[in-house]
Structure 1
Amino acid sequence: MTGGGVDYSFECVGLAPLLTEAFISTRTGSGKTVMLGTDLTPISLGSFDLLRGRHVCGNMFGGLKPKLDIPILVDHYLKKELNLDSFITHELKFEEINKAFDLLEQGKSLRCILWMNK
């Protein structure tokens, strides 16, 4: 179906056996597997597949590099170039933390701010 394997595969569930399957499904010589989920189980990949050019890499937070990228994002936010406020659906007192979790579980909340001194 793919003529030798896919160019890219993504494992998002976090199960070691699925990562192995995703890796094997890639094209020899250039296939790339991106691991997005993990359950911390050790993985087993064939070393010959790696020698033949298949790649596997992880990607935490979309490749964000905190020391470099967070100051840039904060700067964009402060200049109103990055709209994050629309993601805040509720603001609650810290004592109402259980209500915040209830709203989240019910699908009625995207992001809650919990205020410590309100």
Structure 2
Amino acid sequence: MTGGGVDYSFECIGLASLMEEAFNSSRTGSGKTVILGMEKNASPISLDSRAILRGRSVHGSLFGGLKPKLDIPILVDRYLKKELNLDGFITHEISFEEINKAFDLLVEGNSIRCIMWMDK
């Protein structure tokens, strides 16, 4: 179907078996695999070393390359200066007593972000 594999493959779920499949689906000689998903149990993955020696590569991207100590203060500053609008992502505000409602909204796919207020 791809004539030798894909140029880029992305694993976004966080399963070791899918990381291996993503690598195996990449093009011989030049395919790049980017691992974005976090493997819950830190399971090892098994890759064909010959494929790597022939040019395939694997790259990890934790938090999209964000460097927390450097980038989070910059993002907070931009938010406080109203240069970064995050408020649109908040779809619901609930009290602690309504915690089950928050889970219902999540399961139903009706919530992007919920803020839970402890004192309301």
TM-score by length of 1: 0.84
Q: 2 CA distance for matches of 1:63 and 1:25?
A: 24
Aligned length, in residue pairs: 118
Q: Which runs of 5+ in 2 are unaligned?
A: none
Matched, 1:115 2:111: no
Q: 1 CA distance for matches of 2:85 and 2:40?
A: 33
Matched, 1:76 2:75: no
| Letter of the structure 2 residue corresponding to residue 10 of structure 1 | F
Give the CA deviation at 1:3.
4.2
Q: Which runs of 5+ in 1 are unaligned?
A: none
Match of 2:29 in 1: 29
Give the CA deviation at 1:42.
1.5
Give the CA deviation at 1:10.
0.8
TM-score by length of 2: 0.83
The share of aligned pairs that are identical, in percent, is 75
Task: Please provide the CA RMSD for this pair.
Answer: 1.8
Pick from 46, 49, 63: which aligns with 2:48?
Answer: 46
Helix, strand or coil at the partner of 1:56:
strand
Helix, strand or coil at the partner of 2:115:
strand
